[in-house]
Amino acid sequence: MAALAELDSNARARPSAGKVGPSKPEPHAAAAAAVGASGGGAAAARLTRSQARASQQRGADAAASTPASPRAQRAPQPPQAQQQQQQPSQPQQQQPSQPQQPQPQQPSQQQHPQQQQQQQHPQQHPQQQQQPPLPPPPDIDSAQRDNPLAVSCYAADVYALHHRRAAQFRVPPDYLRSQPELNERMRSVLVDWLVEVHRKLKLSPESLFLAVSLLDRFLAAVPVARCELQLAGLTALMIASKYEDVWPVEVGDLVCTTARALTRAQLVASERRMLAALAYELAVPTPYQFLARLLKAAGAYDDRPVALYVAYCAERCLVDPVCLRHGPGELAAGVMYVALRAFGRAEPYPPAVAAHARVPRGDALRVAREVVRALQRAERGELQAVRVKYSTKKFREAAAVPPPVGILREV
């Protein structure tokens, strides 16, 4: 009985010492009681202690290895427990961001796009700063500041506007391909005839150049039959004379030039048609305006032989299709190159002429070659109205000056 009482007291003390939980009767305690009843008191007590430790170890291993059930995972937890579980996870979320904290320059790069452009083009701004500004064209109007008719204070702005409008109203060089019944030969015959009519009616030179410009623009915009080509040419000359001449040509005089093949009503109707097709845009620069400027830049404005030869070359280019391949400014530059070379100038294309023409020397030389070829064709061609006009004493026989064929070999 004494051994049984000692075993019972040891069994009660073990759960409280291990702090496992409330004391419950275990199957090992019953076996120990049976052994103690059989007379093995001390040995039974030692066996009971070892078995109890083994059972506690197995229970702890099983609890650690057994995963929690789904119900236990979905079981609601008190707010304090949730906060305690979330707090240790916060440092884990901030750990990857800690090495990125020393990089606060990303927002500043987005706020300064100019720095990114400088990094992409680091050599652009230094090159622009190293390039000197282009020199302005030399002043060629100061000598006429006292002449109110020269409007020298507005001359530079006027010719700057001429350059812009010349590019705006330039016709395609192959526009005659859109005319099913016309070709370049028919246009050349018509312009050669208009030169003769213009000379007989004693109109201003500006009206001839403007008439050819209006004719080309009209043919580029409206299909014209072959039988209406002469009517279109006379209409262009009539409009140009009304715009340029102080005493414009009369409609009856134009009818007489056709041996009354056209009527007054036809000319008036054709005038309305052409003005509508051109949208009443008549203030268009021609080679004549540019030649007047370049003669002044070359110092040959008062040199009448040079000026007459320039006029001869320019009117000859109106008849030839060469005028369709170049704008009025380029054509004027090429004509000046030919004229100064024909009269033995040491520099056929001075820097002042190049600056006011806005045409490089190489381009001017290329146009000058075509002008020389056009003059050579005029000597042996059938269209002789321009050559006959400038072979008279009134124009100092400018057509007799031989063309400078040496330009064809210049580089």
Number of domains in the chain: 2
Residues 19-76: tens digit of each pLDDT: 444 444 444 444 444 434 444 444 444 544 555 565 566 655 544 444 444 444 444 4
Model confidence band, residue 119 (pLDDT cutoffs 50, 70, 90): very low
pLDDT at 249 over 50: yes
Residue 298 backbone zone (phi > 0: left; psi -120 to 50: alpha; other: beta) = alpha
293 and 391 assigned to the same domain: yes
Predicted local confidence at residue 243, as pLDDT: 97
In single-letter form, the type of residue at position 409 comes to R
Q: Is residue 388 part of a domain?
A: yes
Q: Is the pLDDT of residue 313 over 70?
A: yes
Six token digits for residue 171: 């016709």
Interacting residues of 390 by C-beta distance below 8 A, sequence separation 6+ = 308, 311, 312, 315, 397, 398, 399
380 falls in which pLDDT band (50, 70, 90)? confident
Q: Give the 3-state DSSP-derived string for 170-235, with helices as H, strands as E and coil as C.
A: CCCCCHHHHCCCCCHHHHHHHHHHHHHHHHHHCCCHHHHHHHHHHHHHHHHHCCCCHHHHHHHHHH
pLDDT of residue 108: 44
Nearest by Cα to 277 from 220, 237, 234, 233: 220
CATH number of the domain within which 318 lies: 1.10.472.10
Question: Domain check: are 200 and 311 in the same one?
Answer: no
Residues 263 and 209 in one domain: yes
pTM: 0.68
Give yes or no for a contact between 407 and 338, defined as CB atoms under 8 angstroms apart. yes
Note down the domain range covering 198: 171-278
* For range 241-255, the mean pLDDT: 96
Residue 241 lies in a domain: yes
The whole-number pLDDT of residue 59 equals 54
| Predicted confidence (pLDDT) at residue 246 exceeds the cutoff of 50 | yes
Average pLDDT over residues 328-349: 95
Average pLDDT over residues 2-10: 43
291 lies in some domain: yes
The answer on 312 and 258 residing in a single domain is no
Stretch (H or E) spanning 124: helix 124-130
